[in-house]
Structure 1
Amino acid sequence: MISLVQLECFIAVAEELHFGAAATRLKMTQPPLSRQIQQLERELSTRLFDRTSRRVALTQAGRALLPNARRLLDLAAKAVSDVRSVGEGAAGTVTIAYTAMAGQAVVPDLLRRASAELPGVTLLLRELVSLDQVEELEKGTVDIGLMRPLLARPQISSRAVYRERLSVALPSDSALAQRGEPLKLIDLKDESLLMYSPSGARYFHDLLLSMFVASGVHPHIVQYAGQVPALLAMVSAGIGFTLVPESAERISPDSVTLLPISDADPSSRVNSVELDIAWNAESHNPLVERLLSLVDEVDDSA
């Protein structure tokens, strides 16, 4: 039977790729750490690491185990936290999943409010893309998700909590960036577009397409990516431009300039990025409603 100790040792070695560094991290000596890994490999009947005198590397089996091992430890930590909270009369635990941009736009304020109004609540935070959040909400391993709008699911309830506009992200040394003024999408017709992946970022992919259609622009797409930070990195490298939420200004490198899209652009009528808060309507965690009450609902008339 696999133990949590074995998984913790495996994760440490997998992340450090060095048995000595992993042993130091776990405050143990190397021999017992090596024995835990060997026992785990015997239990699974497969090698998890390729070891030489100079390097340690994950095998394919090890790479497959790593995300599941992290998930199992997360679940174990949640179970322990829940039981301790009940035993100590504390408020309990809520697991919140969020997208990278939600971490910038909504999570900080939620954490401040929870700390002030629900000091006994333990918040477990997990960064997940929207599709993965839905799966975790359905399984009950996540209590609340902060995600982009998705197709309706029978168990999942949601409401909008944040809206913002898209801005144009350009290399700071480009001629358009140095104009320093709002742009129309027609201004970008000859530029290379860095596009959101239709599988990993369907919401943004479809939104950008609708904006370019509204403006009568046929963009020249040169690369796809699923996350805003990855797209900003490519803009920084001078590969092209993209459209990102205004809140991306907080994580944008100095080599990237964000400019607003002109209100006169035909795409303005669809230029609105929504963030939803979602939860499992069948959740038995009584703290979900209390956390939901701390997140302001957006004003649709704004």
Structure 2
Amino acid sequence: MTEHGQGAHDPGAPGPAGTPWTASRQAPSVQQLESFLILAEELHFGRAAARLFVTQPALSRQLRSLEERLDVILLQRSRRHVEITPAGAALLPKARAVVEAMAGLCRAAGSHSRQIDGRLVIGSIGAEAAMPYTRAVLDELHACHPRLRTSVRSLDLATHFDALERGEVDVLFLRPPVPPGIETLTMATEPRVACLPADDPLAGRDEVTLAELSGRPVVDVPPQCPRMWWRFWAADPRPDGSPVRYGPVVPDMEALLLAVSRGQAMAFLPAAARSFFPRPGISYVAVQDLPPGTAALAWAARNRTLPTVAAIRRAAATVLRNAPMDP
């Protein structure tokens, strides 16, 4: 005696096999096909039901409905034995292909549904927009979210933190340190160099020390800049505790370079400035005892979970995980 109910046909008996799927002859559901696949693996109703988190009677009903819809007997079962039929064995790979195809469809749909629409405004200071890590992050972001519109704004030294705080930009490629309320992901580390007037006696040297630069004024920035940020970039105080003497106030990189070229002051800049900011009247010199600086992607802490901000944070983390970069 079997558990199989009435209504399913012998695979060799005549039946409506050529009948198109209609409301009276429904196509199998993916859930039914999954139940068949698990049963074919286990050949045991109890174990299969446990894997599917259903009761044995519910699993029997699923299989019976599937057999009726396909008009074939897939499994022969008694109280102590379950065996796949020749028809079931023949249909097994096709059932598996349907289930896998549906899973692929759902994954693709999920990927598209997670794509982010909208607009992301990205700030950049100095040459940060041209750095390899910035380009890699934007490439990764656009690959994952092709519908996300991005724009890059070049910001000056004086206002770049304010632009992030006021929401004029959503994220910012910058050079730490940063004031409270801003979070960062470090993208690269590089040496800092002295930016000197070309006629400075030290300009022709391969390397100098901070002590040798003592007494030379350093360009200053407007008061709205966080002081802790500029003191780091001015190497203030020096290792011996002496304070730095500041020179003219400059709002942006071009004003900084002009002040240095005119001999009014010096500056400390990332080593990448040698390539990105060559200017007549300026010389870049390595500083032996000056700690390196970092480059980072920054965002306001309160905005870290916004979908667009989270998307570029993930893109930056992927870039770092796949290929850590230096400027």
- After TM superposition, the score normalised by the length of structure 1 is 0.55
Candidates 178, 186, 189, aligned match of 1:160: 186
Corresponding residue SS for 1:207: helix
Does the Cα contact within 8 Å between 1:166 and 1:245 map onto a contact in 2? Answer: yes
What is the SS of the residue equivalent to 1:174? coil
Which residue does the alignment assign to 1:294? 315
Q: Structure 2 unaligned runs (5+)? A: 1-114
Are 2:149 and 1:131 equivalent residues in the alignment?
Answer: no
- Structure 1 match to 2:253: 228
| Distance change (3 Å), C-alpha of 1:223 and 1:117 | same
CA spacing shift, 1:222–1:94, aligned 2, 3 Å: closer
The range that moved more, 291-300 or 156-165, is: 291-300
Per the alignment, do residues 211 and 199 of structure 1 end up closer, same or farther by CA in structure 2, a change over 3 Å counting?
same
C-alpha distance in 2 between matches for 1:229 and 1:294:
31
The alpha-carbon deviation at position 208 of structure 1 amounts to 4.3
Matches within 5 A, 1:206-285: 206-208=231-233, 210-249=235-274, 250-262=276-288, 265=289, 267-268=290-291, 271-279=292-300, 281-282=302-303, 285=306
Q: Which amino acid aligns with 2:270?
A: P
Aligned-partner Cα distance in 1 for 2:146–2:246 = 48
**Cα offset, 1:203, TM superposition:** 4.0
Is 1:151 aligned with 2:179? yes
Structure with the higher helix share, 1 or 2: 1
State the aligned residue count: 203
Instruction: Give the Å deviation of 1:221.
Output: 2.7
Give yes or no for the alignment of 1:98 onto 2:128. no
Instruction: Give the Å deviation of 1:257.
Output: 1.5
SS in 2 for 1:175: coil
- Give matches, 1:54-65, under 5 Å: none
Residue matched to 2:53? none
**1:157 Cα shift?**
4.3
Of 182, 194, 199, which residue of structure 2 is paired with 1:173? Answer: 199
SS of alignment partner, residue 272 of structure 2 = helix
Structure with larger Rg: 2
TM-score calculated relative to the size of structure 2: 0.51
Q: 1:114 to 1:216 in 2, by over 3 A?
A: same
- 1:256 alignment partner AA: I
Choose 221-230 or 244-253, whichever is displaced more: 221-230
Alpha-carbon separation, structure 2, partners of 1:119 and 1:246: 34
Shift of residue 273, structure 1, vs aligned partner:
4.0
Q: Deviations over 1:10-56 (max 9, x none)?
A: xxxxxxxxxxxxxxxxxxxxxxxxxxxxxxxxxxxxxxxxxxxxxxx
Q: Cα RMSD between the aligned structures? A: 3.5
Letter in structure 2 aligned against 1:187: E
Q: What is the rounded CA distance, in whole Å, between the counterparts of 1:196 and 1:273 in structure 2?
A: 19
Mapped to 2, the partners of 1:217 and 1:285 lie a distance apart of: 44
State the Cα distance separating 1:183 from its structure 2 match: 0.9
Indicate if the aligned counterparts of 2:177 and 2:232 stay in contact, CA closer than 8 A.
no
Indicate the SS of the match to 1:125. Answer: strand
Deviation at 1:149, TM superposition (A): 3.7
Match of 1:191, SS? coil
2:28 aligned partner: none
Query: Counterpart amino acid of 1:287?
Result: T
Gaps of 5+ in 1: 1-88
CA shift for structure 1 position 94: 1.5
- Residues 230-262 of structure 1 show CA distances to partners (whole Å, capped at 9, x for unaligned) of 211211222232111222221231431211111
- Over 3 Å counting, the alpha-carbon distance change for 1:118 and 1:152 in structure 2 is same
Cα deviation for residue 197 of structure 1 reads 4.0
1:189 aligns with 2:225: no
